[in-house]
């Protein structure tokens, strides 16, 4: 299983070496460098393989090998050969179903642009109404109107018959269900193999079950005994008969259920959620055409190239919000701002370099009131002690021998000039008050 590595610095060589399966945001597990994609519960695949291979192995050793002596010519060999070939065919269908892309729709890197305003349209002056994506949209396919929903995880509108699998964390086309026995979602691209796997497993259970009874019958005829005594002579056959009988109810019932779904062109998800039995099914094309669509139509190619190199997209430019701008850092913690750290001014570096380090920073009236207390204290210290340049360190401690940063110098210069004018204007008034008190 590949874990997404932490983001590297731009320009590093490792970014160009990453492939899609290494940066995949879903919960899938990849093997052989992205050639096989499995679900997060792929470990259950080993259990399914054991549930198929172990009983067949017992059948070949204790039943089929004994039947080779009871049947003349090549009939005895064919019983063993059919069991082995049928098991290999069944396991191949299982691996194809589990390791194949079920029809995953690639998620978008960014949400689509909103088409209309939602919410309060009577925004005040200088305010921009908030753009929101509609949760449901109506699309028309072959003259039939479908409602498609927006997926917040994949940031796309799901096509008709598509659903988001909470286990694999992907949107899957023609989503049927997530099968824990194969460890994969069942969708558009692997449903055919899933049904063939379930159907072939049913036939394999019937085959083993039937020849176990044949072997018991042979013992009864050769030893002229009752069927109960013959069953005691081959306990392996009894175990296989019970095991295959229980399995046939499970896989056989599943096969019958999916035959009904195919004949009506439904998925398991649609059958349990929409109940097309109570209303018309817009996907039903007739029994014959429905079977042709499932087994005779071409499987669409995968929309994901898991071995392709990942191309890093440039960051989005800041968007205008209510006459201002939205910073890419909006939403981050503001500890640096409140602590008056140098990181606050890091974003102003390009702007400061354009005006020069010795030029004053033009600050509008009222903006100084929004500064943090640490910065304002530093400005007052600079005004009262012109010979020393104290400032706040990154840990909030005073360091009297350190030089003051150019940004604080610019702010202090403007504050000092304005306060000097205010003191000059108010000095005459204070003098009159003092004179009146003495009088």
For the stretch 210-226, pLDDT in tens is 999 999 999 998 888 88
For the stretch 344-383, pLDDT in tens is 333 444 444 444 444 444 444 444 444 444 444 444 544 4
Question: Would you say residue 17 has pLDDT above 60?
Answer: yes
C-alpha separations of 190 from 98, 204, 405 in Å: 8, 21, 64
Three-state SS at 261? helix
H helical segments located in 266-319: 268-273, 287-295
> What pLDDT shows up at residue 21?
87
Largest separation between any pair of C-alpha atoms in the chain: 143
Count of alpha carbons within 13 Å of 134, Cβ hemisphere only? Answer: 8
Q: Catalytic one among 151, 165, 179, 212?
A: 179
Annotated catalytic, 154?
A: no
Per-residue pLDDT band at 308 (split at 50, 70, 90): confident
> DSSP of 365-422, one letter per residue?
TTSGGGS-HHHHHHHHHHHH-TT---EE-TTS-EETTSPPPHHHHHHHHHHHHHHHHH
Question: Would you say residue 297 has pLDDT above 70?
Answer: yes
Name the average pLDDT for the chain: 74
Closest CA to 257 of 370, 179, 140: 179
Percentage of the chain lying above the pLDDT 70 cut: 61
> What pLDDT shows up at residue 397?
41
> Do 18 and 34 meet the contact criterion of CB atoms below 8 Å apart?
no
Rounded mean pLDDT, 5-18 = 52
Question: Domain locations in the chain?
Answer: 21-101+179-296
> What pLDDT shows up at residue 280?
79
Highest mean pLDDT (candidates 262-276, 281-295, 298-312): 281-295
Three-state SS at 172? strand
Rounded mean pLDDT, 418-429 = 52
For the stretch 97-142, pLDDT in tens is 999 999 999 998 888 877 655 544 455 555 555 666 788 888 777 6
Task: Output the pTM of the full model.
Answer: 0.66
> What pLDDT shows up at residue 141?
72
Closest CA to 198 of 262, 242, 286, 149: 262
Question: Would you say residue 422 has pLDDT above 70?
Answer: no
Question: Would you say residue 433 has pLDDT above 50?
Answer: no
């Amino acid at each position: 299983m590949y874990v997404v590595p932490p983001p590297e610095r731009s320009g590093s060589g490792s970014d160009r070496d990453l492939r899609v399966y290494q940066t995949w945001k879903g919960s899938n597990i990849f093997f052989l460098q992205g050639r096989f994609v499995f679900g997060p519960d792929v470990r259950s695949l080993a259990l399914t393989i054991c549930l198929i291979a172990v009983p067949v192995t017992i059948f070949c050793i204790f039943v089929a090998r004994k039947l080779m002596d009871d049947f003349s010519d090549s009939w005895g060999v064919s019983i063993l050969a059919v069991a082995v070939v049928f098991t290999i065919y069944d396991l191949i269908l299982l691996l194809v179903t589990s390791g194949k892309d079920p029809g995953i729709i690639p998620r978008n890197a960014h949400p689509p642009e909103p088409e209309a305003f939602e919410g309060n349209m009577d925004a005040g002056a200088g305010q921009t109404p908030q753009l929101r994506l509609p949760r449901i949209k109506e699309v028309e396919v072959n003259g039939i109107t479908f409602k498609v929903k927006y997926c917040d995880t994949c940031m796309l509108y799901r096509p008709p018959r598509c659903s988001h699998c909470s286990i694999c964390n992907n949107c899957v086309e023609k989503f049927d269900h997530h099968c824990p026995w194969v460890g994969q979602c069942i969708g558009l691209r692997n449903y055919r193999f899933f049904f063939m796997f379930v159907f072939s497993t049913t036939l394999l259970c019937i085959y083993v079950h039937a020849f176990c009874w044949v072997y018991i019958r042979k013992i009864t005829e050769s030893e002229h005994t009752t069927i109960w005594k013959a069953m005691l002579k081959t306990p392996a056959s009894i175990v296989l008969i019970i095991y295959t009988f229980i399995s046939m109810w499970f896989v056989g019932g599943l096969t019958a259920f999916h035959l009904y779904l195919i004949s009506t062109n439904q998925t398991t998800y649609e059958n349990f959620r929409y109940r097309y039995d109570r209303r018309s099914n817009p996907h039903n094309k007739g029994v014959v055409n429905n079977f042709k669509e499932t087994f005779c139509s071409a499987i669409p190619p995968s929309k994901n190239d898991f071995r392709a190199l990942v191309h890093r997209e440039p960051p989005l430019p800041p968007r205008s919000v209510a006459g201002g701008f939205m910073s890419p850092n909006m939403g981050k913690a503001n500890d640096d701002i409140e602590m008056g750290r140098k990181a606050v001014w890091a974003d102003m570096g390009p702007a400061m370099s354009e005006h020069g380090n010795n030029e004053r920073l033009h600050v509008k009236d009222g903006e100084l009131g929004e500064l943090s207390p640490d910065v304002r204290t530093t400005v007052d210290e600079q005004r009262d002690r012109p010979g020393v340049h104290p400032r706040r360190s990154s840990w909030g401690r005073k360091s009297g021998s350190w030089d003051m940063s150019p940004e604080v110098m610019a702010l202090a210069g403007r504050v000092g000039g304005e306060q000097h004018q205010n003191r000059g204007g108010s000095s005459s008034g204070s003098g009159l008050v003092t004179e009146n008190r003495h009088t």
